[in-house]
Every structure is written in structure tokens, then in C-alpha cells.
Amino acid sequence: MELNSVIASNYSLLNDRRFALFSDDAKYINGKRTGRVNQLKTEYDLENNTITLSERESAKKYSFDLNPNNTELLSYLSDFFAMNVSLKESQNGELMDMPQKGSVTIMSKASIESIHHDFPELTIEDLRSRFRNNIELDNAPAFWEETLFGDSTTGIEFKIGDVKMFGMKPCARCNVPPRNPLTGETDKTFVKRMLESRERSLPKGSKLHDFKNLYHLTLAAYLPKSEVGKVIRLGDEVKVLGPIKLK
């Protein structure tokens, strides 16, 4: 979904991962855990607080009130995943993987275009679906966002419009990008090709070799609570303020 503006919330952007699915062992049910996630087609109507679900290739659709206590919704999801499912809602950023270490992901348009050169069988939109970054920067060189992190003790303070953030680190990728976002099928060549692509296109002076490997893409930025309620708008300028020491 493309937005012309977005509101800064607690550690994250408003409505980004507002809901999460959990199994009985209190672990997330997500794309890292099962490719079955890719088979669940979802449509949201947040104004009316409803969700419509269907099997990816099925014409049958089922609409539910989007409520963590909705037993009909939970029953549908439990049947779909063949496990007991609970649903949690939060706008406090706590459903992110590491909210206080960087929960807003940022990448330049040129970066995704650079990766695309090495995956010609995919479309740009396919790659966007696989990497799922929050904010895409136009008019920036490929991998420019990777100038917005330092070492393990240093971050970079910057602003997008009036919203302040801290660049923390590059995002290490998981087993989700190699999966087709529609079918869940895994491309076993994806990681190797991604590593080769990053090696070929690594900008001069890149700090990415300081990390375990080159299987990283997008900047992880920390959004402090002081920014809650501020708005990022299409066309806002990115201003780099300088390095900060991380606690």
C-alpha cells in the first residue's frame, strides 16, 4: 500500500504491524515461521475496522470484525494455520521485532532498482513485496541510506520533514525475501544471488563489511517517542544532523 502521508506512532509508523498472530507457545505466526502465511489473502477496511480473508487462489471470501476477541475470526485463522491462533493488537510498537533498536525501515528507490538488475525475472513490485521497507527515498543514490548508520556504538541522527529518527544499523535479512510473496515457494538461489549483487554494487567506503555478511538491505531507524503524532509527507526533505552515541 502506498501512502502520501503517515503518522509517527510509538517506535513505529501508525498502523504498521498493529496486529500480530501468535500460537499457543507465544511465538509469532509469520513468514519467518511458515510459508502458509503467503497463502492468506487479506483486505483491510480500517475505517470500519473489518478484515476480509481468503485462501490465495479461492474466490470465497470471509469478512470479520477486526477484534482480537472475535471468536469467529480466531476460529477461521486457527483452521487456516492448523494450530490454535490468538490475535494481539497494539499501537505501542511492541509488536515489532526490535522496536527500540530500529523499527522503521528506509531504502532508496535506486537501491531496489540496483537489486532488480540481478533479478530480472522479478518485477520491482515483487522485490518491494519481499523486502517490505516502510519508506522509499527518491532522488538518492543507490544504498545512500547505508550512510545513515555508524558502528556498534554510533548512530546517525536525521530528520524526514519534521520527524526525527536515528539510523541504527542495516537490516539483516531472513528467510522471507527468498519466498514468493504470493505462493510461499522458496527460491534456493536467492540468497547467493543477493550476496553477489551486494558485492558488485557496494558503494565506495561502505561499512557493510563490518557486519557478519552482505545479506543486508534497508536501514533500520529508531523513532523516538518525542515524535509521536508528527506527520511524514510525500516530498519531505531528508536532513542529516550528524552522529550520536548509542546507549
**pLDDT at site 97:** 66
CA dist 209 and 196 (Å) reads: 13
Alpha helices in 17-132, H assignment, sequence order: 71-81, 109-117, 124-131
Contact 91, 119 (CB under 8 A): no
CA dist 219 and 183 (Å) reads: 27
Under the banding of pLDDT at 50, 70 and 90, the label for residue 100 is: low
Under the banding of pLDDT at 50, 70 and 90, the label for residue 219 is: very high
Summarize pLDDT for 136-192 with one digit per residue, the tens. 999 999 999 999 998 777 889 999 999 999 999 999 999 999 999 888 889 999 999
pLDDT for 111 beyond 70: yes
Element (H, E) at 194: helix 190-201
Contact 168, 101 (CB under 8 A): yes
Contact 164, 226 (CB under 8 A): yes
**pLDDT at site 102:** 72
**pLDDT at site 90:** 87
Dihedral angle, C-alpha 83, 87, 88, 91, nearest 10 °: 130
Average model confidence (pLDDT) across the chain:
92
pLDDT for 98 beyond 70: no
Contact 207, 214 (CB under 8 A): no
Dihedral angle, C-alpha 13, 17, 18, 20, nearest 10 °: -160
In order of their start, the domains of the chain are 19-89 (no CATH), 99-245 (2.40.33)
**pLDDT at site 35:** 86
pTM of the model: 0.88
* DSSP state at residue 239: E
pLDDT for 109 beyond 70: yes
Q: Mean per-residue pLDDT for 224-231?
A: 94
**pLDDT at site 91:** 80
Percent share of the chain, pLDDT over 90:
76
Dihedral angle, C-alpha 192, 193, 198, 200, nearest 10 °: 110
**pLDDT at site 154:** 84
- For the record, the C-alpha cell of 221 comes out as 531507524
Secondary structure (3-state) at 183: coil
Dihedral angle, C-alpha 148, 149, 154, 158, nearest 10 °: 30
Among 67-81, 168-182, 229-243, the range scoring the smallest mean pLDDT is 168-182
**pLDDT at site 99:** 56
Contact 163, 8 (CB under 8 A): yes
